[in-house]
Amino acid sequence: MKNTLRIGAGSAWWGDRIEPAVLNAERGDLDYLCFETMAEATVSAAQVRARRDPSFPGYDTNLDDRMRGVLPACLGRGTRIVTNQGWINPDGAARRIVHWLREFGATGVRVAAVNGSLITDRVLDLADTILETGGPTSSLAPTLVSAEAYLGAEPIVEALRNGAQIVVTGRVADPSLFLAPMMHEFGWDALDHAHLGPGSGIGHLMECGAQVTGGYFCDPGFKDVPEPWNLAFPIAEVAPDGSAVLTKVAGTGGAVNLMTVKEQMLYEVHDPASYITPDVVVDFTTASLEQVGPDRVRVSGIGGKPRTPTLKVSMGCMEGFIGEDMFFYAGPGALRRARLAKRILEERFRIVNLDADELRIDFLGLDAIHGAMSPSDQPEPYEIAVRVAARTRTREEANKVGREVDGMAVSGVGHTGKRVPHHDRVREIIGVWSALVPRERIRPSINYFES
């Protein structure tokens, strides 16, 4: 058993930067590099894209760039990779990783694909109640796009025990990606909540990447961090008891201190005493934090309670479309012209019978965030953007937003600055709902591939 396990973060979401992952692979002296690439709607969005585009492979669209970036160093160091870049096609992602392994001349490397999180075809039989509303899940049947259960660390641990150097999954709870290497290396049992609690707590601190190294933290003049353009992703030096020191590659920007760690510890945690994961219920209220050196924070004392008998399921449903565009004014009188433009659009939307569940015309820089709560005595802006958005039931109605905004270029207010409409101004809305399913009804499976 290792005395210390070095686990590095490789991403915090699909669109995260790739360079810090490469830095961790090359200079982090890691045993494991873990990639978290999903948001709540990622799987549903992938299913929608797959329906529109038969060529879409169904896994992380940045998988190639990420693997090209980190594989050379990981192979040289012997760093194992755990990633949920499989999205709706873990097997396809595993095959693609095998392709890159072969490109780098690495043969005999085992890649595991964890399946079983997608339960779209049977979720309505397994789950009765929508958690957010208390209504029946059957009401979602006409609009259901995808349903996936949040798997835990166990199938990843099984893959690692069976010799996988790289494990790629679909939907797995974020902390579980980091917990699995600890369970494997330290021999923790899946029901050992005394160890899984601290391990999942460390996983939670790691899952959002640079948020614990100063990203999404700095506020100039109040919470300053050095070189925020040069943030590194975190590294956890984990001990067999589940305590860890959080740090980062030396010489990088950002900071690892008591403030950054505390903010991330409470991020997206509704009840710090009962943070529910598939593996364990984490208790952060007993945690102890200690600054033990520059950019080094020791985390200990996180508690754990037995895991729940159910798993959370995320259900994505089609809920219409959003049509959105914007145009601009600058110079003296910009706000005056923007207000007239808003009145013009409101009248024209009535003329074309826009059927919208919601219509917003906001002035960016003035009231787009706080709306009616915005201060009424703000100074006159020198420039302003007018954002127009409508939520509709059909794509045809959503298209009316772009058409009327286009008309403002020559049939609107003087000095209207208009973007060339070479971007997609209509997008589908995916609503995300939750339910619980019996743990024993979800059976993960693992497929193995070799370079």
- SS3 track for 372-393: HHCCCCCCCCCEEEEEEEEEEC
Mean pLDDT, rounded, for 63-89: 98
- Are 327 and 417 within 8 A, CB to CB? yes
* 220 pLDDT more than 80: yes
Residue 223 falls within a domain, yes or no? yes
Which whole-number Å values give the CA distances from 202 to 189, 275, 286, 450, in the listed order?
17, 12, 14, 31
Looking at the fold, whether 300 and 352 belong to one and the same domain comes out as no
* 421 pLDDT more than 70: no
Looking at the fold, whether 170 and 23 belong to one and the same domain comes out as yes
Looking at the fold, whether 58 and 168 belong to one and the same domain comes out as yes
What is this structure's pTM?
A: 0.94
- Are 355 and 392 within 8 A, CB to CB? yes
Q: Which residue type, as a one-letter code, is found at position 239?
A: A
Looking at the fold, whether 278 and 342 belong to one and the same domain comes out as no
Indicate the number of domains in the chain. Answer: 2
Residue 408 pLDDT: 93
pLDDT digits (tens, 9 = 90+) for 174-183: 999 999 999 9
Which whole-number Å values give the CA distances from 329 to 36, 244, 341, 372, in the listed order?
40, 52, 10, 21
pLDDT digits (tens, 9 = 90+) for 11-53: 999 999 999 999 999 999 999 999 999 988 888 889 888 888 9
Looking at the fold, whether 174 and 292 belong to one and the same domain comes out as yes
Residue 371 pLDDT: 86
Burial class (CB in 10 A: 0-12, 13-18, 19+), 26: middle
Last residue of a domain, one of 280, 308, 336: 308
Residue 390 domain boundaries: 315-433
Residue 52 pLDDT: 86
Mean pLDDT, rounded, for 110-118: 98
Of 74-78, 276-280, 379-383, the one with minimum mean pLDDT is: 379-383
pLDDT digits (tens, 9 = 90+) for 363-376: 998 888 898 888 88
Looking at the fold, whether 12 and 75 belong to one and the same domain comes out as yes
Looking at the fold, whether 230 and 352 belong to one and the same domain comes out as no
Q: Residue 94 belongs to what H/E stretch?
A: helix 90-103
Looking at the fold, whether 170 and 190 belong to one and the same domain comes out as yes
pLDDT digits (tens, 9 = 90+) for 145-184: 999 999 999 999 999 999 999 999 999 999 999 999 999 9
Q: Which residues contact 395 (CB under 8 A, 6 or more apart)?
A: 321, 426
Q: What is the mean pLDDT of the chain?
A: 95
Looking at the fold, whether 282 and 190 belong to one and the same domain comes out as yes
Burial class (CB in 10 A: 0-12, 13-18, 19+), 398: buried
Residue 41 pLDDT: 83
Looking at the fold, whether 342 and 209 belong to one and the same domain comes out as no
* 439 pLDDT more than 90: yes
pLDDT band at 7 (very low <50, low <70, confident <90, very high): very high
pLDDT band at 422 (very low <50, low <70, confident <90, very high): low
pLDDT digits (tens, 9 = 90+) for 374-418: 888 888 899 999 999 999 999 999 999 999 999 998 899 998 988
Mean pLDDT, rounded, for 195-216: 97
Looking at the fold, whether 98 and 197 belong to one and the same domain comes out as yes
Dist. CA 320–CA 393, nearest whole Å: 4
pLDDT-above-70 percentage for the chain: 99
Mean pLDDT, rounded, for 302-322: 96
Looking at the fold, whether 336 and 202 belong to one and the same domain comes out as no
Residue 1 pLDDT: 77
Last residue of a domain, one of 308, 331, 357: 308
pLDDT digits (tens, 9 = 90+) for 323-356: 999 999 999 999 999 999 999 999 999 999 999 9
* 423 pLDDT more than 80: no
Residue 40 pLDDT: 84
- Domain with 392 in it: what CATH number? 3.30.70.2750
Dist. CA 396–CA 352, nearest whole Å: 12
